[in-house]
Structure 1
Amino acid sequence: MKKILSISACVLTAALTQVHAQAQNNYSLYVSEGTSGGLDAAQVIEKYTGLSEVMGKALGKKVTVVVAREFSQLEEGMKAGKMDFVIARPSDYPARGVRDYKYQLVSTSKPDGQCLLIVPKASPLNSINDVKGKRIALPEKISYMSKFCSAELTHKGFNLATEKIQYAKEQGAVLFYLDNQLADVGGIASYSGVAKNLEKTGHRVIHSSQLQPYQPLIAHAKITPAQIQSLKKELALLTENEAGKQVLKQLGIKEFDTASNDQRLRDLLKWLG
């Protein structure tokens, strides 16, 4: 019996050693689609698999996609340095990763992000100057785009404490508020599915906010400058071949901006307040 237990212990130790070795040979890519993604974990992994393969080619190691479902998981993971790479649509999280947790910016995604103020086509409102005093619908208060739109309104002279702002559960619900005359104007993300279908849904844009970095990809401090450059090179080449274009299409972006710099992320956090 002792001999059997000894053999079992040896097998377990070997298995754990192998798992640890595999972990050492892999990198993790944590992904957050924010509150507007609308995809389940399996769909997110499928969406980012092409990118992980491109990254793996540049780094010479397998890159495994991990879905960060909670913002707290994303924040704590970066703070503890447990995440090798992070790509997130709520850009304030990677921005804090760079500013507060010593992560390095690899790239942002094009086009940049904006808050769009939209109204029904028949609305008499035509510019942001017409919005003061009107009923404004924004995505849920904790969402990045709600913070983004609120920052834009503040920078345009709105006092949010006195404006008639209401929060919808998600960006799609902003249209419900407009269509049912529960709000006069709505705020949505330029990169959202809602924004891509405004012509079909019968809405128009009356104001586009300041451009800000979209979906930053950041790397842990342990990733070397040579690895960062190799990664940037592979990402920049995606627009030059069909396979690369398919990866970009899958991600829903035009290209990776590998010339973007840390200061844009730091400025974004200041702008958000």
Structure 2
Amino acid sequence: MMFKTRLAVAALLAAAAFSAQAQGRDLVLAISEGTSGGTDHARVVAKYGGLANVLGDAIKRRVVVVFVREFAQLEEGMKTGRFDFVMARPSDYPARGVRNHGYRYVAHARPDGQCLLVVPKASPMKSLAEARGKRWVLPEQAAYMTKFCTAELRDQGIDLTKEKVTYVREQASIGQYLQTSLSDVGGVASYSGLARDLEKNGLTVLHKSTPQPYFPLVAGKGITPAQVEAAQKQLAGIEQIPMGPDILKSIGIEGFDVSGAKRLGDLLAWIEKK
């Protein structure tokens, strides 16, 4: 009996030690910037370190940044729960984290993301209905923004499978196709470099899609609802905290919106609807 008691006490002590160790470990904020090139782990840590500190201050835990370059690694990390927080674009990855892997929405970047359907300034088209039957140019078929634009066009009564579409690897190429009259209308992300310089590139917006959450931040199962709420409170007012404006400038966003849980939860169903 004494031996069994000692075993039970040892097991309880081991469990307590494991729990303390788990509570004391650093939490991981995984960052994915999509297919954006020209960056590395050190730059991403510097860029998002302030955000990690804000999250850590809110939930009273140390949060460290990890750069995730490959989408497969991002998906696997969410599936196994290795990442405590994930902030990623394109937005379908955090959305799958919520739908498939038990993550919870925390916030997303402002402004929202949209598919912009653009035409050359000299185009006679004045409405989206006039684009039916024209020559389209979009990012590669597997790209999130192409799926985004396709869903918007579906809702507007245009089936891209029945249109003449060219798919290109780089969004910058869309501008070139339109500028050289190889295509009549193109779909680009509102947060792309091309979208920021439409005037310079001689393009104009024919139609803006419904807004969807951009660059969402989601929390894993180990983050409690109270911690999520604390993080949301801190992020919603980040402009007012010390270094907050510098953190936003470093990331390249205007601020955080914490009201997009339903929209992120509905995003995949909207994109995948036939």
TM-score w.r.t. the length of structure 2 is: 0.85
Whether 1:272 and 2:266 are equivalent positions in the alignment is: no
SS in structure 2 of the partner of residue 66 of structure 1:
strand
Unaligned runs of 5+ in 2: 1-20
Quote the offset at 1:241 in angstroms.
4.5
Whether 1:213 and 2:213 are equivalent positions in the alignment is: yes
- In 1, Cα distance between the equivalents of 2:186 and 2:45? 31
Conserved in 2, the CA contact under 8 Å of 1:34 and 1:144?
no
Percent identical pairs in the alignment equals 51
What are the within-5 Å matches in structure 2 for residues 49-128 of structure 1?
Answer: 49-128=49-128
Alpha carbons of structure 1 residues 59 and 31: separation in structure 2 relative to 1, 3 Å: same
Conserved in 1, the CA contact under 8 Å of 2:179 and 2:202?
no
Show CA shifts across 1:29-59 (max 9, x none).
Answer: 1112123x34412443332222112112223
What number of residue pairs does the alignment pair up?
A: 251
- In 2, Cα distance between the equivalents of 1:131 and 1:175? 17
Unaligned runs of 5+ in 1: 1-20
Conserved in 2, the CA contact under 8 Å of 1:34 and 1:143?
no
Show CA shifts across 1:3-52 (max 9, x none).
Answer: xxxxxxxxxxxxxxxxxx799521111112123x3441244333222211
SS in structure 2 of the partner of residue 142 of structure 1:
coil
Alpha carbons of structure 1 residues 129 and 44: separation in structure 2 relative to 1, 3 Å: farther
What are the within-5 Å matches in structure 2 for residues 202-241 of structure 1?
Answer: 202-241=202-241
Alpha carbons of structure 1 residues 142 and 24: separation in structure 2 relative to 1, 3 Å: farther
What are the within-5 Å matches in structure 2 for residues 22-61 of structure 1?
Answer: 25-35=25-35, 37-41=36-40, 42-61=42-61
- In 1, Cα distance between the equivalents of 2:51 and 2:270? 30
Give the counterpart letter for 1:200 in structure 2.
K
CA RMSD of aligned residues (A): 1.9
TM-score w.r.t. the length of structure 1 is: 0.86
SS in structure 1 of the partner of residue 90 of structure 2:
coil
2:131 maps to what in 1? 131
1:194 maps to what in 2? 194
Quote the offset at 1:97 in angstroms.
0.8
Show CA shifts across 1:111-153 (max 9, x none).
Answer: 1110001111111122211111111111122211111111111
SS in structure 1 of the partner of residue 237 of structure 2:
helix
Show CA shifts across 1:87-112 (max 9, x none).
Answer: 11211111111111111111122211
Alpha carbons of structure 1 residues 82 and 181: separation in structure 2 relative to 1, 3 Å: same
